Amino acid sequence: MKFTKKSHACVRLEKDGRVLVVDPGGFSEEDAALGAEAVLITHEHPDHFDEGRLRAALEADRAAEIWTLKSVADRISAAFPGRVHTVGHGDTFTAAGFDVQVHGELHAVIHPDIPRVTNVGYLLDGGKLFHPGDAFTVPDTPVETLMLPVVAPWNKISEVIDYVREVRPARAYDIHDASLTDLARPVYDRQIGALGGAEHLRLAPGSSAEL
């Protein structure tokens, strides 16, 4: 599996010549979803879900499909009948040759006065990779590679470190990092790497790694 980091929370995965993209939101590149056979969306917030990017991908490839939760599907399914699939916790499906399990139900708490939206995470190929969206969801399956949301309005570094400890992946790659400045990155690298108990890695947008 080839993993390519896109800006913020978006990742591109390739296997056997097939492409799956997760969370091509408004902080990601304009073409983040183009060329994907399948797109997975974790929740409705605009840094994870951008309708224009999804429409461009589905219009460019008439076979491309989307899997997401109801709040997102309701906003785009009418334009692409039969190509937008609604999923929730416990569901399993195959997309672009990847076996996918859905984990989680709610977005992490930002503030008690802000209503929580639904959020799902996607576990690929039996634990090869897990993208939690905006939550600290712990799958009931061992995880090899964790997409780690490092900076958000809903977390602090101690919670990020404890999340790595709880999931216990072999490695964790930073995502959700658009607001993390280059000045602060070494602090996060050092503390998560030293305390998380897993190999902590970071890729610049556009860079790739083999998993």
State pLDDT tens for residues 132-145.
Answer: 999 999 999 999 99
Q: Nearest 5 degrees, angle CA 190-CA 107-CA 97? A: 85
Mean per-residue pLDDT, 45-57: 96
Query: Confidence band (pLDDT; 50, 70, 90) for 104?
Result: very high
Closest CA to 102 of 66, 68, 151: 68
Query: Confidence band (pLDDT; 50, 70, 90) for 156?
Result: very high
pTM exceeds 0.85 for this model: yes
Given a contact cutoff of 8 angstroms between Cβ atoms, the answer to whether 121 and 130 are in contact is yes
Which domains are delineated in the chain? 2-210 (3.60.15.10)
